[in-house]
Amino acid sequence: MMSKLLVRPHAPDADGSILEVTPESAGWTHVGFKVVKLAAGETFNGVDPARETCVVILSGAAEVGAGSVSFGRIGGRASVFEDKAPGAVYVPAATPFVVTAVTDVELALCTAPGKPGGQARLIAEGDMPRETRGKGTNTRLVRNILPETAPADGLLVVEVITPGGHWSSYPPHKHDTAAEGEETALEETYYHRLNPSQGFAFQRVYTDDRSLDETICVQDGDVVMVPRGYHPVGAPHGYDLYYLNVMAGPHRKWIFRNDPAHDWIMR
């Protein structure tokens, strides 16, 4: 039986959408996520009166505009595994946006509740440098697309590459409880891609009391929803794993707590 936390892609809808998580479908309040595939020349139009959007051109190049502003051609990487920043634009609530594919495009739309009246902006490639985190087989490559240091109402967006044989989101950590200065409550989605694409990875989502404890076999293009609990990821030997994380909650701050049983790894 498929996990309720797992969302698989499907054949494209009329607008090119191949996967969508809404607060209603997830049974939560904040995070929304959608993946759209466009052939060269195709266009996607979006607007949400009550939700902000981070438009991420995962692969391919597109012309992007929001409100009365045109940001021109952005993106251009061949795949999410290329060492190059994605194209990204922040769009406030109630601002219409349009994405026109110059080449075939894989587009991610990351959303959270927001207030109208903000300014749409291009997120420059130079503001998304790749950082190396961890050591040994806990090494992974991280690119902050929309960190808490950049303006937004609720969204946090980051992409990570976990080399084959490595672990990520590890030691297991959680952010599901509002505890001032110690932990924030953030819902999260993981959009997984694998290289080569026939690979697989594992993600475990579990709570201290084990009322939630699922280990999910992830395939290329899957989303794992993390409503609460710890959520480590392992990539098998031979298969690099990419994931795009979208987080949002009542307070726009990422403060996590490691599983006390495994926190010794960091010491």
| CA–CA distance, 236 with 202 (Å, rounded to integer) | 8
CB 262 within 8 A of CB 171: yes
- 1: pLDDT strictly greater than 90: no
CB 252 within 8 A of CB 154: yes
- 141: pLDDT strictly greater than 90: yes
Query: Beta strands of 60-175 (E only): which ranges?
Result: 61-66, 69-75, 87-91, 97-101, 105-113, 121-123, 130-133, 140-146, 156-162, 167-168, 173-174
| pLDDT given for residue 212 in this prediction | 97
- 216: pLDDT strictly greater than 90: yes
Quote the mean pLDDT of the chain.
97
The rounded percent of the chain whose pLDDT value lies above 70 is: 100
| pLDDT given for residue 2 in this prediction | 86
For residue 37, the number of C-alpha atoms closer than 13 Å in the C-beta half-sphere is: 8
pLDDT tens digit string along 48-102? Answer: 999 999 999 999 999 999 999 999 999 999 999 999 999 999 999 999 999 999 9
pLDDT tens digit string along 186-206? Answer: 999 999 999 999 999 999 999
pLDDT band at 267 (very low <50, low <70, confident <90, very high): confident
pLDDT tens digit string along 234-259? Answer: 999 999 999 999 999 999 999 999 99
For residues 153-181, average pLDDT: 97
